[in-house]
Amino acid sequence: MIIKNIKHTYQDIFKSYDNPSLEKHIQKIIELDVYLPYSSTFFCITNTQDLSFEYVSKNMNACLGLDKELFDKGGMKYFWSRIHPEDIERWLQALNELMNFTLKEIDGKDRLKMSYTWNYRFKNAQDEYVNIIQNTTPLEFDTNHKPIIGLAHYTVLHPNIKMQVCASAKLLNQQNEYETKYFNNYSQKLLNAISNRERDIIRLLVLDYSSKQIAEKLEISSNTVDTHRRNILKKLNISSTGELIGMLKMNRNLL
């Protein structure tokens, strides 16, 4: 898929009629970057209206070996050109479905509490495709409550790790716990039989929480958690929770 077509599809997904200013808010985020250590994660402030990066953190060069000026000058079109060709269509499909879901299913007041995650392969400075898991939190919305400026964190993983292209949308509840509102695996249907509630329970089991702790975090009863656990094992034809956790610790992006 050529960049021109990507641009058309992307702009259609995020079409808006506003151009808000977030200069002060963005400046404070940039100031924080000075204090962050180098790691396998970098962040950007994305602007879906003019297809630019308002800011790219210093860790980007450490993670990918690419010159920050390439991101500043080329914007999102340059970024897209480095995504693996086999992942482009699935990535755009994921963005489109996440946006449609948000506009139809999530109240405007709750959209500031949303977090979106997806992944793809990306060519680094050595022309090697590494895995990137992108997590984006909205910062600003247009008058129709459509997210247009976001804080995106990119975690870079070794190319030998085999990852399926997945996308999810999570809402931060009153207990400060994420609840899955949307999930789709665009590469394989391994966990598509699992409900969003069951997916949250699996994620917390992987983090070694007990049924009682999970119940408190998701504001449900312990008996309900145990019922979900039995249903999960039955759906996946797995004999024990330990077997399930072992499998998913190798493929956490499935959650």
What are the pLDDT digits (tens) for 135-164?
999 988 888 778 888 999 999 999 998 888
**pLDDT value at residue 131:** 95
CATH classification at residue 49: 3.30.450.20
DSSP sequence for 167-200: EEEEEE-TTS-EEEEEEEESS--TTTTS-HHHHH
Is there a single domain that holds both residue 134 and residue 228?
A: no
Distance CA 229, CA 211 (A): 9
Is there a single domain that holds both residue 12 and residue 138?
A: yes
Is there a single domain that holds both residue 229 and residue 200?
A: yes
Closest Cα partner for 132 from 171, 83, 169, 93?
83
Question: Structure tokens of 184?
Answer: 């789709």
Q: Is the pLDDT of residue 250 over 60?
A: no
- What CA–CA distances, in Å, run from 47 to 50, 126, 136, 193? 6, 27, 12, 35
Dihedral angle at the C-alpha atoms of 203, 161, 81, 148, nearest 10 degrees? 10
Is there a single domain that holds both residue 10 and residue 98?
A: yes
The band of 24, judged by pLDDT with boundaries at 50, 70 and 90, is low
Is there a single domain that holds both residue 85 and residue 142?
A: yes
Is there a single domain that holds both residue 20 and residue 100?
A: yes
Instruction: Give the chain's domain count.
Output: 2
* Residue position matching structure tokens 């309900």: 224
Over its C-alpha atoms, the chain yields an Rg (Å, rounded) of 19
Q: In what order do the strands lie in the sheet with 166-172?
A: 52-56, 41-47, 147-157, 129-141, 114-123, 166-172, 178-185
**pLDDT value at residue 163:** 85
pLDDT of 182-207, one tens digit each? Answer: 998 876 655 667 888 988 898 888 88
Question: CB under 8 Å to 240, separation ≥6 — which residues?
Answer: 233
Is there a single domain that holds both residue 114 and residue 233?
A: no
pLDDT of 211-223, one tens digit each? Answer: 999 999 999 999 9
Is there a single domain that holds both residue 157 and residue 32?
A: yes
pLDDT of 39-80, one tens digit each? Answer: 789 999 999 888 899 999 989 999 999 999 999 999 998 999
Distance CA 46, CA 42 (A): 13
- What pairing do the DSSP bridges indicate for beta strands 129-141 and 147-157? antiparallel
Is there a single domain that holds both residue 179 and residue 213?
A: no
The residue from 166, 188, 210 where one domain ends is: 188
Is there a single domain that holds both residue 61 and residue 145?
A: yes
Residue 158, CA atoms < 13 Å, CB-side half-sphere: 2
- What percent of the chain lies above the pLDDT cut of 70? 83
Is there a single domain that holds both residue 172 and residue 143?
A: yes
Q: 10: how many CB neighbours lie within 10 A of its CB?
A: 20
The residue from 129, 155, 188 where one domain ends is: 188
For the entire predicted model, the pTM comes to 0.72
The residue from 188, 218, 243 where one domain ends is: 188
Distance CA 71, CA 183 (A): 29
CATH classification at residue 231: 1.10.10.10
Higher pLDDT among residues 120 and 12, named by residue: 120
**pLDDT value at residue 108:** 84
Is there a single domain that holds both residue 180 and residue 204?
A: no
**pLDDT value at residue 35:** 60
Q: Which domain holds residue 226?
A: 189-255
